[in-house]
Amino acid sequence: MEFTAKAIAEFLNGQVVGNPEVKVNNVAKIEEAKDGTLAFLANPKYSKYLYSTEASIVLINKDFELENPVSATLIKVENAYESFAKLLELAEQAKPVKQGISSLAFIEESAKIGDGVYIAPFVYIGENAVIEDNAKLFPHVFIDDDVTVKKNTTLNSGVKVYHECIIGENCIIHSGAVIGSDGFGFAPDENNVYRKIPQLGNVVIEDNVEVGSNTTIDRATMGSTFIKKGVKLDNLIQIGHNVQIEENTVMAAQVGIAGSTKVGKNCQFGGQSAAAPHIIIADGVKVTPQAGIPNTIKEPGSIVMGTPAFNIREFQRSFVVYKQLPDLYKRVKELENELKKLKGE
């Protein structure tokens, strides 16, 4: 499909600078764009490409000041990144909607299937499972007994959902994710042999959650592991049993949250960061990549860094000293030598 700059500007409530009738049929990064594509500029580091890009249309922020003439038609918007995301969402919605149940899927008779669903070949749906309206299950999805998948949720190829788990509306679960596997619960006996503790709970994922590829969310020992509304989890994340992640928290790849930890609303976890078990992390906390959180964080909105993690300003001041340790060690040794000489005299 083709769209004119005028039509795009009307959709985004933007202002056209240039030819309003120029058309695009694809999107591209500003540094790689060709004729007939639309790009965007939000990060100042890429500003230089605005003057050399071959894109037909570029979205820019209204407050951006041009330093040189540009060949592309510009659309000025309040937030170029957000506007670009809206266009991508619109393009996604324009794709053909898959519907229908493959004859190669296996569905237990007691399962309940809603209207407008798509169930691909080689999907398994267990006893008393509920698949609500317009859900999409792609090949090799496994739905265990008594699972509920609510409206408009997509489970991509190879997703496994264990028994009694619940996935809310408008969720996206990416390939290879495992929802509801056993929590890591073992108790040593008198011979120091580890005995498995049965994991009798489930996982509850609320609405508008996205779970990345090969992420694992363990079922609770008792009760539920909760992933609240609007949470976004990247690929390769481990969420332990009885964890609770509150609304609109985001976690980058390879984050690990140990069992029974509670993470507040609107938190941000950088890649490869981790939290110890049985702690509480306040709302709005930002965790830098590779940070390790050993204790409860009580201050909302704080930023923590390092392992063990503590306030980022204190960490940065400490790191300045840390980098000077070789010189400080050398000076201490020199002072020790001087002291020995004085004592000898």
DSSP three-state, residue 11: helix
DSSP string of 91-107, one letter each residue: HHHTSPPP-EE-TTSEE
Question: Choosing from 140, 163, 174, 241, which is the catalytic residue?
Answer: 241
Backbone angles phi, psi at 186, to 5 degrees: -140, 145
Which tokens belong to 16? 């056209």
Which tokens belong to 12? 């985004």
Which residues is 131 bridged to in the sheet?
113, 149
Residues 117, 80 contacting (CB under 8 angstroms) = no
326 vs 316: CA distance, rounded Å: 18
DSSP three-state, residue 45: helix
- Please state, as a whole number, how many other Cβ atoms lie within 10 Å of the Cβ of residue 324: 11
Question: Could you tell me which of 211, 187, 216, 182 has the C-alpha nearest to residue 199?
Answer: 182
Owner of token pair 């609405």: 207
DSSP string of 168-196, one letter each residue: -TT-EE-TT-EEEEPP--EEE-TTSPEEE
241 is catalytic: yes
Active site residues: 241
